[in-house]
Amino acid sequence: METDPTVLDMQKKYGSRALMLAIGAGLLFLALGQKEICRGLVLGGVFSAVNFALMGQALRYRLSDNRKAATRRSLFSLLLRYALLAIPLVLAVRSDRFNFPATAVGLLMVQLVIMIEHGSRLIFAAVKH
């Protein structure tokens, strides 16, 4: 019997895969001599995983009996996560050490991993039938 994954299980799964993808792609660009792209991907990937973890942690606080308190917490959580995502973008704009487009792609690593996983499931399900 298979049990449904918990939020923590999903955070670990997608966060670690996103970091592995960011580091793997970063190493590829490093081998090609593109240090700035490497740094941008890894920086964005780390912040993407942290953002995803914070989103999962904040989820339990949103489910409250008091609607006003839940709304306040949700808004605060959203603003905090946006501020967190702005940090690597500001670093990339202000420093030549990071490539801005690579940093932006790195910030989307968790989403990319989720889309790749679900897309591959659809493709392999179609191939089986």
Separation of alpha carbons 64 and 44, rounded Å: 32
- Split at pLDDT 50, 70, 90, the class of 64 is low
Q: What is the pLDDT of residues 106-120, one digit of tens each?
A: 999 999 999 999 999
Position 105 pLDDT exceeds 90: yes
Mean pLDDT of 49-73: 81
Q: Which amino acid is it at 15?
A: G
Looking up tokens 């989307």 gives 108
The more confidently predicted of residues 38 and 70 is 38
**Helix, strand, coil % over all residues of the chain, rounded to 5:** 85, 0, 15
Going from N- to C-terminal start, the domains of the chain cover: 5-128
C-alpha to C-alpha distances, 25 to 17, 37, 83, 95, 97, nearest whole angstrom? 12, 9, 25, 21, 17
